[in-house]
Amino acid sequence: MNAIKITDTNGFVDELLGEYLKNGMGALSKREVDILIMYLLGKYGDLVTLSNHELSIRLQMTETHVKNLRYEAHLKYPPVEEKYVEIQFLLVLARSVFDAEKEKINFVLEDEYLRHAIQGRLKARGMFADSSFNTEIIKIDHTALEKLIREMYGKKVADQFQKGFSRLLKKEAGMDFQSLLKTFVKSAVNSLGSAVGPLAIAQLKLLVPEVFPS
């Protein structure tokens, strides 16, 4: 079984012991310990590269169990990081693909907490993303995505994405979706500034190593 890589071992252990011993040893139930471990793996591990299915194999539990634990971890340990949704959505977009025939951007959003946050932002603006086939597979047109990008990462990043996407639709030489993604991710990270901490950078290095070399 492949091990889960921990990007900050000291941080993982310190937070684990702090939470586990906060109310005395043995105070947490097995379920609460499982939720705590899942939260810490999400914060300090390389789960960003793993689907719920892949994680279920590594943790030797059902995919449904993994999904529920991930969601409960978000509820019990709400994200306190500045720009959490923006950073996590950026990690999702870094793995997106382009359906040229339908001119839609497709990505997998297994994180229920993040999915509700993104869908809420779209709904508030009278927009929606297609997830009729599978709730975890999101299909969104570039206009709606550009509006999300504008709101989350700023006008400069959105304008740059829009121009790049126009070039992509025109099938200009040297422009493909992966090139567009690399430029977008780098610009979005610069826009978010210090809110993108070392853990997020470590995750981005796993997803787009050519943009963030070690």
Rounded to the nearest 5°, which phi and psi values hold at 182?
-60, -45
Looking at residue 46, its pLDDT comes to 75
Given a cut of 90, whether residue 14 has pLDDT beyond it is: yes
Looking at residue 158, its pLDDT comes to 94
Spatial distance between the Cα atoms of 125 and 150, rounded to a whole number of angstroms: 13
pTM: 0.73
Q: Residue 162's pLDDT band (boundaries 50, 70, 90)?
A: very high
Q: To the nearest 10°, the Cα dihedral for 122, 123, 128, 133?
A: 110
The overall average pLDDT reported for the chain is 86
Q: Residue 213's pLDDT band (boundaries 50, 70, 90)?
A: low
Given a cut of 70, whether residue 209 has pLDDT beyond it is: yes
Asked if residues 206 and 94 have their Cβ atoms less than 8 Å apart, the reply is: no
Q: What does the H/E/C string look like for 31-49?
A: HHHHHHHHHHHHHHECHHH
Give 15-70 pLDDT, tens digit per residue: 999 999 999 999 999 999 999 999 999 888 877 677 889 889 999 999 999 989 98
Give 117-133 pLDDT, tens digit per residue: 888 888 887 877 777 66
